[in-house]
Structure 1
């Protein structure tokens, strides 16, 4: 795989920064896995699939980052005070494989807490998954050219962006349409989720374009920083907010564990 990470030598500081970023990503996802598993009992069956999907996302993303971290330390060795590429190369392509799993899960979680019925969830999720896969596949193809042909990188990136915009348009209109159905104050929280998604997901195309505007060893550090911020924001923090919404809405339909977790009397009527 011809990624720009393999083009440069790295100072000890640069190498260790990337190593620490990848390790931090692993730790954040594995810690979140435990968190979501423990909180799943507080979520009513109606919303529990959303929390289960968070667990799937954490496992999938965590394993990929373990692989990325191991690949990084295997690909370079310290020689003459700098880290130089060895026989094994570093590969960002595995991230795209991971996104084929995690992004559909994230989108389905959102539809569940938006109180769509089963048929509507299946319908919308199918459309969103197709758009997400179109975005990911075209992005994957584009990053194959990042070393040899920046024009091709940008062209495939533009195609990927079309899918990206269409997907987010559906996400935005779905939230707007369903906000009125959300209970216990979660209609305001869901807008925070939307803006978190827009922030985190916008970091990925910036990282994708790093070879076009910062094709240096420092650019590689910036790219891995952007990936780490985006991963933790779009998966871990997003999952926490989705779980919060699920618990609040579970309480509003009288689910006792959720009521107790929120410090409310089980006889309270929280339907609003």
Structure 2
């Protein structure tokens, strides 16, 4: 439940964390778009989806940020004091769920796309994963908007069911595909699944804060921080690991491409000391 007031420290903390998320999502998206030529064409779909995910998140965090600054104001001289909700205005938590409804299925698509599995296997995985992801977000929203912990807990439990199913598919079904991946990327793909589990695990913890004895503005601030940090890890860091896997698989698939890319990297690294020496 959104608090009626925030202290100066609480307001500044949320203000800064939202700013951090916007910068992280926006510039990760730009980096991934620029990096498309650095992988083979068959892996560019995964990077494109990763860039779209971060772009969607950046847009929604702009909306979340604006909603926050419009909902809370202070009448203190110099703008330094407690912040209270503006009459007739409210922080719109719905932006976050719209973002997740779009980006969570796409995160799963990233993983499946970078594996470059047979079309039939990809179709089977996506048919199971994407509806489950959408259902998980849809069931979590009524609980997020609820004003009592009982309703929040019921919908939290319901949304955990598709969440558990997604984890089952990722850790049981996708394990079967690892043997068909290059040996150089198997460990990274396994770590990527663990990252997904760890970051997605932050969301239910933040969701449950109001029911863990943390009340009022402290619970709400902790909720926003938890969601924001999880979004950076689950989208930005996840997308960068997808890029790393795509690069490693590109090198494994095409030796000539690998030689060109490595030569380019070596040439770039050799130019750096020259530039530094000239500055001296």
Mark yes or no: TM-score above 0.5. yes
Give the match's secondary structure for 1:59. Answer: helix
Deviations 1:220-239 (A, max 9, x none): 22111111110011000001
Are residues 1:195 and 2:191 paired?
no
Quote how far apart the aligned CAs of 1:141 are. 1.7
The separation in 2 between residues aligned to 1:93 and 1:262, in whole angstroms, is 45
**For the Cα contact (< 8 Å) 1:76–1:84, is it kept in 2?**
yes
**For the Cα contact (< 8 Å) 1:76–1:83, is it kept in 2?**
yes
Give the match's secondary structure for 1:79. Answer: coil
The separation in 2 between residues aligned to 1:226 and 1:159, in whole angstroms, is 21
The CA RMSD over aligned residues, in Å, is 1.7
Give the match's secondary structure for 1:162. Answer: helix
**For the Cα contact (< 8 Å) 2:42–2:116, is it kept in 1?**
no
Counterpart of 2:270 in structure 1 is none
Deviations 1:39-73 (A, max 9, x none): 11111111110000011101110000000011111
Give the match's secondary structure for 1:84. Answer: strand
Which protein has the larger Cα radius of gyration, Structure 1 or Structure 2?
Answer: 2
Give the match's secondary structure for 2:73. Answer: strand
Q: Figure out how many residues of one structure are paired with residues of the other and give that number.
A: 259
The separation in 2 between residues aligned to 1:258 and 1:39, in whole angstroms, is 15
Most deviating of 109-118 and 197-206:
109-118
The separation in 2 between residues aligned to 1:221 and 1:238, in whole angstroms, is 25
Counterpart of 1:232 in structure 2 is 232
Structure 1: unaligned runs, 5 residues or longer: 266-272
The separation in 2 between residues aligned to 1:35 and 1:19, in whole angstroms, is 25
Deviations 1:189-214 (A, max 9, x none): 01111111111000111111122222
- Which consecutive aligned stretches of 4+ in structure 1 deviate over 6 angstroms post-superposition? none
Give the structure-1-normalised TM-score.
Answer: 0.90
Give the structure-2-normalised TM-score.
Answer: 0.88
Are residues 1:133 and 2:134 paired?
yes
Counterpart of 1:62 in structure 2 is 58
The separation in 1 between residues aligned to 2:82 and 2:134, in whole angstroms, is 39
